[in-house]
């Protein structure tokens, strides 16, 4: 498993816990990273922290975009795992020009398969595809490959 894939898994777990019970993002992420048999390298931990902090700092705008895009689904009615996979991926789409769109979508779909329900990957893919193909004011420029 790649370092960034592992970082996304850690970030998703932290976001899920923060969504469930709150807490300090750094403490939550540190606790998750400490549970690995092999301590993640510095780059993995750093990328995971950037993702968690980014999602937390822009959560209102991210949630608004997800809500507007996911027709017939209220954010609070989405499965908690799906909601946080979407938050993570939308943050990458908006603010991480170093990550190609296709990578963000593929990683989110894989997170849905691994951590979500049978329908998660298709749901996540549908919402993210709409977001990725809609011009968003203020989003970092991305290369589509």
**3-132, CATH topology level:** N-utilizing Substance Protein B Homolog; Chain A (1.10.940)
Contact call for residues 69 and 128 (beta carbons, < 8 A): no
Question: At CA 35, angle to CA 54 and CA 116, rounded to 5?
Answer: 60
Q: What is the pLDDT of residues 78-122, one digit of tens each?
A: 999 999 999 999 999 999 999 999 999 999 999 999 999 999 999
Domain residue limits, the chain? 3-132
* Count of beta carbons in the 10 Å neighbourhood of residue 131: 24
Question: How far is residue 22's CA from residue 70's CA, in Å, rounded to a whole number?
Answer: 25
What is residue 135's predicted lDDT score, i.e. its pLDDT? 78
Predicted TM-score of the model (pTM): 0.91
pLDDT given for residue 145 in this prediction: 46
Rounded Cα gap, residues 27 and 9, in angstroms: 16
């Amino acid at each position: 498993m790649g370092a960034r894939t592992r970082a996304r898994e850690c970030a998703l777990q932290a976001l899920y816990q923060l969504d469930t019970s709150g807490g300090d993002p750094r403490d939550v992420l540190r606790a998750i990273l400490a549970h690995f048999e092999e301590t993640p390298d510095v780059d993995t931990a750093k990328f995971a922290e950037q993702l968690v902090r980014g999602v937390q700092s822009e959560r209102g705008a991210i949630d608004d975009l997800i809500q507007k895009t996911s027709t017939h689904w209220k954010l609070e009615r989405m499965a908690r795992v799906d909601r946080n996979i979407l938050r993570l991926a939308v943050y990458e789409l908006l603010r991480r020009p170093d990550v190609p769109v296709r990578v963000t979508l593929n990683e989110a779909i894989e997170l849905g398969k691994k951590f979500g329900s049978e329908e998660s990957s298709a749901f996540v893919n549908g919402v993210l595809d709409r977001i990725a193909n809609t011009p968003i004011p203020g989003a970092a420029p991305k290369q589509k490959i």
